[in-house]
Amino acid sequence: MDFDTDNGILRRIPGQFLSRAMNQLPRPDGGQPNLITTDVDVPNIGLVRVSCKLSSSKHHNSRNWFWNAFHAERVEGEQDNGG
C-alpha cells in the first residue's frame, strides 16, 4: 500500500466503526469489483464514506481475498438511515 496517498479522514475513524463499515461489504472473492464504497455513521464526525480495494494474497495453491480500506471522507448533506 502506498502510504504517500491521501487517505482522507481514514485514520480518524475508530476501528469499531471501520469494522462495522467493512462488515457491510459483500464477501471478498475474485468475482467482486476491485473498488467498492460503503457508508457508516461515526459519532462526532457524521456519515462517512469508506472506500475499499479488493486485494488478495497467495500461499502455495491457496488464495485469500480481503477488503482493504484505503480512503474515507465525510459525506456532506446525507443522513444515515440506520444500520
Average pLDDT of every residue of the chain: 89
Which residues partner with 57 through β-bridges? Answer: 64
pLDDT (tens digit per residue) in 39-54: 999 999 999 999 999 9
Which residues partner with 41 through β-bridges? Answer: 47
d(CA 78, CA 81): 9
- For the chain, percent of residues with pLDDT exceeding 90: 78
Would you call 34 exposed, middle or buried from its count of C-beta atoms within 10 A (0-12, 13-18, 19+)?
exposed
pLDDT number for residue 76:
86
Does residue 28 lie within any of the structural domains?
Answer: yes
Is the distance from CB of 66 to CB of 77 less than 8 angstroms?
no
Does residue 82 lie within any of the structural domains?
Answer: no
Does residue 63 lie within any of the structural domains?
Answer: yes
What is the domain range of residue 23? 10-74
- For the chain, the domain total comes to 1
Does residue 79 lie within any of the structural domains?
Answer: no
